[in-house]
Structures are given as structure tokens and as C-alpha cells.
Copies of this chain bind each other. A is one copy, B any other.
Amino acid sequence: MPEILNPNPSKLAMVPFVSVDDMMKIVNTIGAPKIIAEIAEYVEADFLRWDQFDKTPRVAAHSKEGVIELMPTSDGETYGFKYVNGHPANMARGFQTVTAFGVLARVDNGYPVLFSEMTILTALRTAATSAVAAKHLAPKNSKIMGVIGNGAQCEFQALAFKEVVGIDTVHLYDIDPAATKKAVHNLSNSGLTVIACKSAEEAVTGVQIVTTCTADKQCATILTDNMIGAGIHINAIGGDCPGKTELHKDILLRSDIFVEYPPQTRIEGEIQQLDDDHPVTEIWQVMSGQAEGRISDNQITLFDSVGFATEDFSALRYIRDQLERTGHFVELDLLADPDDPRDLFGMVQRASDK
């Protein structure tokens, strides 16, 4: 039974809260690879009903240190939003680059039904989304993935691609060898063959899939044109704001490009380097069979992923469905719920008599 902070408020007033501690327990109860695979199913199910969602580019507040964003969406029945920050300089100061939390609410009465940490959940859903896209875009029987950037997202990507795509080997590279060492250690019991590499070139040699997940706020060139051979699937995760890219433009020009929501990706993704009318395919169309994904062995496919509100919605929807299964949440007294809805003042006044 979840802990009840305040037993007095009516049930209507209470909103389930999943703390970081709860989220870790949920992940460890279900198992990281399995939870990513299950979230991937929710993500894909929601991409398959793309038309039902209200879609808008995220609402960003930029500052010189980073960005704070709100990412709302709704399927007409349930509303969800995520608060997320992106502060590249945080890591050096001992903070997370990205922290997040999110809310689901009922559209019919506006009452929140879930409040959850989303720093961990975002890591899970990002990996899940990458893997779902790769299932449709990567070469059949892909076995080896190179991961460039071995920060907070790295291990989640590796597990997602093992579980959903079927890879058995990862090549890891980071400009900081300590990051690679950390990831190698964390993946030691994952069932993956893990190879620490001394260069990005080494990490992409012999792979079918390349994942880039670096975090610097600048136009970096993590992958240059000569590093990417025919037939590769590129999963570009690390681009998430204007002025932040990871791939050389020449790679983009050789690739078939798949995105989540074009109005947002044109601003934030790798394709900010290209003309505004450069052709891209929406990934939901591939999933639903309305557009082709990979059509040849020589094709370079690029999933230019920036993260979209529906993916957070899917992840929150999944967590809500696990509350009963796991019991890892507390009830928060978040909503004022007077017996007579018009008597908000009286409720406050009477509280002083208690």
C-alpha cells in the first residue's frame, strides 16, 4: 500500500506521485531491458495513432546557460506534459544536464492523475524510441552498434537495441575515457559484448548501427563523412537545440532522413543544417506503412531524433499502468477539493479549526 501523506483530503484531491526512488524501484522490479521494451510498445502504439494527438513544438525558455522546456500534448482523452531542462554546463558543476518531471491529466475535467519524475523516465523513453525507429530502419539482422558519447543515455541505448533490435555487441567511444569505463562497467552483466574504443573511427568500424549521444551545446562534428559507409543506420540522439548538431552536413545529404515532428526537428535537429524544404519522412508514417523505411542494403538511414511530447506521453501512460502492478508511488495532496466546489474559502477557513 502506498504511503498516504495526509489522510484527510478526499480521494479526488490525491494525485499519485512517482519519485526518483519509486522510479528506480519500478525499473528494478520489472528489469531495465524489459521496461524499455515495454515502453517501446507504448511509444509505437501512440505513433500509430499520430492523428489523434494535439501536436506543438515545445515551449522553450532559453538562457545563456541552457534551456527550460514544456512539452504538452493530448490525445483528446488524456493530457500530458513534461518539464525538462537542458544545461550542457551542468555536468561540470555536479548537476544533471537534463532533469525532468511530467504530469498526466484528464481532459474532461482537467484533474491531474499522475505526477512523476522523468529524468530516469526520459532516459528510458529516449532509448525506447530510438530502438523502435531502428526496428523499422536498421539493416536486418543488425548485430553491432557503435555508441559515440558514453554519458547518461549510453547504457539505456545499448540495452534498448539489444532487447528490441537484437544487437549483441556495442562499440563505445567518448572523448573522456572515464565515461567509457563507466559504461563498460555498467554493461558488464548485460549479455552484450562491450568493446571500449580509442577513437570514433574505431567505434564505427564494422557496425550496422551508429548512435550519437553527445551533449555539447555547439555545432560539433562527431561523425565526418568518410566514417559512414553504405548501409549504415544512424541514430542521432544528441541534437536537441538550435546550434547543436553532431553530424557533418555531407552525411545528411547522403542519407534518407526520418524525424519525429518536422516543425520541431527543423529547429532543433541535425536538419537545421539543411534547407527548410529538404525532404524528410515522419517516422510514424513508416511505422504505419504509409511511407517506406529501409528499401536497400546500401541506403544510409538517419533517425534525426530530438524527442517529442508524444513519447513522454507514452512513457507516462506506461508508468500510470504500472502503479498497481508495482505499488511504487505515494499519494500527494495536490488538489483542493472542498465539499462544495464553490466553497474554497470556507475549506481554508475551516482548516484552521482542526
Contacts and interface: CB of A to CB of B under 8 A. Distances in A.
Interface of A: 3, 5-6, 8-9, 12-13, 17, 19-21, 23-25, 27-28, 32, 54, 56, 59, 61, 63, 65-68, 70, 72, 74, 76, 79, 81, 83, 85-87, 90-91, 93-97, 99, 101, 103, 105, 107-112, 117, 119-120, 123, 150-152, 154-156, 179, 182-183, 185-186, 330, 332-338, 340-349, 351-352
A336 B6 contact: no
User: Which of A90, A99, A154, A347 has the largest count of B CB atoms less than 10 A from its CB?
Assistant: A99
A79 B86 CA distance: 14
Contact of A9 (B17, B20, B103): B20
A347 to B, nearest CB: 7
B79 A61 contact: yes
Nearest to A98: B110
Contacts of A67: 110
Nearest to A107: B63
25 contacts: A6-B19, A12-B95, A19-B333, A20-B335, A23-B336, A32-B348, A59-B59, A59-B70, A61-B74, A61-B79, A63-B107, A63-B108, A66-B109, A67-B110, A68-B107, A70-B70, A81-B83, A96-B337, A96-B341, A99-B336, A119-B335, A123-B345, A151-B342, A182-B346, A332-B332
Contacts of A340: 182
A109 B94 CA distance: 10
Nearest to A95: B109
A182 B56 CA distance: 42
Given A65-B109, A90-B109, 13 more contacts: A28-B351, A32-B349, A63-B74, A85-B105, A90-B341, A91-B342, A95-B337, A95-B341, A96-B336, A99-B110, A99-B111, A99-B112, A182-B343
A343 B186 contact: yes
Contacts of A61: 54, 72, 74, 79, 107
Contact of A110 (B13, B68, B349): B68
A199 to B, nearest CB: 20
Contact of A8 (B21, B111, B156, B346): B21
A348 B120 contact: yes
A348 B28 contact: yes
Nearest to A12: B95
User: Which of A6, A87, A332, A334 has the largest count of B CB atoms less than 10 A from its CB?
Assistant: A334
B65 A70 contact: no
A335 B95 CA distance: 10
B351 A152 contact: no
